[in-house]
Amino acid sequence: MKSSTFKVWLSAARPQTLAAAFIPVLIGASIAFWQDSLMWDATLVALFCAFAIQIGTNFANDYFDFVKGADTDQRIGFERATASGAVAPKTMLRATTVTMFIAFLAGLYLVWIGGWVILWIGLLSLLFGILYTGGPFPLGYNGLGDLFVFIFFGFVAVMGTTYVNTLEWSMYAFWASIPVGALCVNILVVNNLRDVEQDKVSGKRTLGVLFGENALKIEYVVMIALAYLTPVFFYHILDYSIFIMLPYLSLFFAWNLNKEVWYHEDKRTLNNTLERTAKLMVVYGFLFAAGLIL
């Protein structure tokens, strides 16, 4: 029974999406390391907070999508704990609250290091994690999910991590945020492409519902392009060494994923594409981090 309960909560946490929490912190910390300013305590606490906020957001999505009727029997994505009946709605809401509160408490250490600006960043991250699917105007239901992901998993997470290490806002962190945000967005793009028909029925107005599937496919290509053009910018404009081009070792992997997005025949295969898009982010992230350090 305990093992079964653990598996339910592990699935609800959606570990396949946690790359979106880990890689931004890795990149932000890599820039701090390059500047000889890495603080392990701040970085590890930032990583813990990132994981907690991501998991809390996933719990919130599980709850609010069920309450709003977005998770139906026609769903072809990963099974949701609340919709499947494995977790009661009140229990999932309570788990969301507890997880976000833990993230807040841990984040107070970063506030002690970085000051009030970090408090506001943390509070906004928690708030928008809930408002992604909750509240009177949920971002994910009104075509704003992609923008939210790009800003908070890109600029906010990367630049915030660098700041709590260096106590300075870094131009390098700003530019390094772009590929991170772009690859995070692509995880969402695959999710929305898979669910576009169900989202139409449930009234969830993602970009795929508003502009069609081809718009999502084009978005996927654009985000890939942003990710792989950024190292060129670092090399030619910011005068980094040739090691910054290491992410190109993953380009073939990205190309194959792009073909899957464009030419899939069964939407169910996009579950695998989503997981592999997250893996691409991990591979790219480690290669980019190595390039930044070297």
Backbone angles phi, psi at 271, to 5 degrees: -60, -45
Domains of the chain: 2-11+21-293 (1.10.600)
Q: pLDDT tens across 119-149, in order?
A: 999 999 999 999 988 888 888 899 999 999 9
Q: Token pair 């570990």 is at which residue?
A: 15
Q: How far apart are CA 124 and CA 130, in angstroms?
A: 10
Q: Token pair 């993953």 is at which residue?
A: 250
pLDDT at position 272 over 50: yes
Confidence of residue 71 (pLDDT cuts 50, 70, 90): low
**What is the arithmetic mean of pLDDT over 265-283?**
94
- Which amino acid, 48? F
Confidence of residue 79 (pLDDT cuts 50, 70, 90): confident
- Which amino acid, 41? D
Taken in order 284, 287, 289, 291, is the CA torsion positive or negative? negative
Q: How far apart are CA 140 and CA 154, in angstroms?
A: 17
Q: pLDDT tens across 220-231, in order?
A: 999 999 999 999
Write down the pTM of the prediction. 0.93
Confidence of residue 213 (pLDDT cuts 50, 70, 90): very high
pLDDT at position 16 over 90: no
Residue 287 to residues 37, 168, 250, 280, Cα–Cα distance (Å): 21, 25, 8, 11
Backbone angles phi, psi at 123, to 5 degrees: -65, -40
DSSP string, 262-282: HH-S-GGGHHHHHHHHHHHHH
Q: pLDDT tens across 42-61, in order?
A: 999 999 999 999 999 999 99
Nearest residue to 238 via CA among 160, 178, 287, 153:
178
Q: Among the ranges 7-11, 45-49, 72-76, which has the highest mean pLDDT value?
A: 45-49
**What is the arithmetic mean of pLDDT over 208-224?**
96
**What is the arithmetic mean of pLDDT over 230-257?**
96
How high is the pLDDT of residue 17?
86
How high is the pLDDT of residue 287?
98
How high is the pLDDT of residue 1?
41
- Taking CB atoms within 8 Å and a gap of at least 24, the contacts of 107-114 are 107/45, 107/49, 109/41, 109/42, 109/45, 110/42, 110/45, 110/46, 110/49, 110/164, 113/39, 113/42, 113/164, 113/167, 114/42, 114/163, 114/164, 114/167
- Give the Cβ contact number of residue 131 at 10 Å: 20
Higher pLDDT, 43 or 81: 43
- The whole-chain average pLDDT of the chain stands at 93
